[in-house]
A = this chain, B = another copy of it.
Amino acid sequence: MKVAIIGLGLIGGSIAKDLRKKGLTKSIIGVENNNHHAKIALELGLVDEIHSLDEALKKVDLIIVAIPVDAARKVTQQLLLKIHKNQIVTDVGSTKSGICELIENHPARKQFVAGHPIAGTENVGPTAAINNLFNNKTGIICEKEKSSISALKMVEELYKQLGMNIKYMGAQEHDKHIAYVSHLSHISSFALGLTVLNIEKNEEDIFDMAGSGFSSTVRLAKSSPDMWKPIFEHNASHLTKALDEYIDQLHDFKTFLKHKKSEDIYRLMEKANDISRVLKGH
């Protein structure tokens, strides 16, 4: 199998690493607009060659689109116009409704598999690529009935080789759920970072007091604005709802704090402790 990866950042680069390590592909071609990233990806041996999109298309069976979700929509649309009938395209984006609607009636829709490997770190670019990023993670495939059997099989095989557990769902269902278990976490972390950076302007040395708890909750505030801007844009309606519910919970804490209702705070914390059940294995 010959593979092209469009976008050699954390996700694209990490897929390349695993494909190579496991001997899953004869050659990996990278397509990367950022010349600096392209150069580093070659130096790191993530890919064998760097080509333009059109050049890459002449040589591969599978094209993996691993760029921010707004760019991914455009590129996927272009790709479906250009690929020949044995080529397969898949994406890795964190929102799925938009891209699925956009290409719903495309003649080559069957050659596309809407994917979302749920894995990542807050780091960006080819130097952020790591081995085994996807091992034991969940890989979502949306609207599988709209992909051809051979396209689906190729992407399922890819996910399995990367070590992922595959789950199937609708695009809207995906976007709703991921708003809660991923996108909301990012907003909560960005907002926490901003709150503490603000107070720091008036208070010296405050960060010397930050422990591992703070680091953990604020880690995602390091995430890339270029990646997250279009995700938030595409998933605005689900995310706004999740954010409303989150703010409601915070208001409860605030009200109980103000009125010294410690037993009510205790009860909320006890309920929240149930998250242990969920975090097992993460």
Contact = CB atoms under 8 A, between A and B. Distances in A.
Copies of this chain in its oligomeric complex:
2
A80 B23 CA distance: 69
Contacts of A127: none
Nearest to A261: B233
A111 to B, nearest CB: 26
Contacts of A254: 240, 243-244, 247
Interface of A: 118-122, 137-138, 140, 165, 167, 174, 176-178, 180-182, 184-200, 203, 205-223, 225, 228-230, 232-233, 236, 239-240, 242-247, 249-254, 257-258, 260, 262, 265-266, 268-276, 278-279, 282
A213 to B, nearest CB: 5
Given A186-B213, A191-B253, A247-B254, 19 more contacts: A118-B211, A140-B209, A165-B208, A177-B203, A178-B209, A181-B207, A181-B210, A187-B250, A195-B242, A198-B245, A199-B245, A215-B279, A216-B217, A218-B279, A221-B275, A225-B273, A232-B257, A239-B257, A244-B254
B217 A217 contact: yes
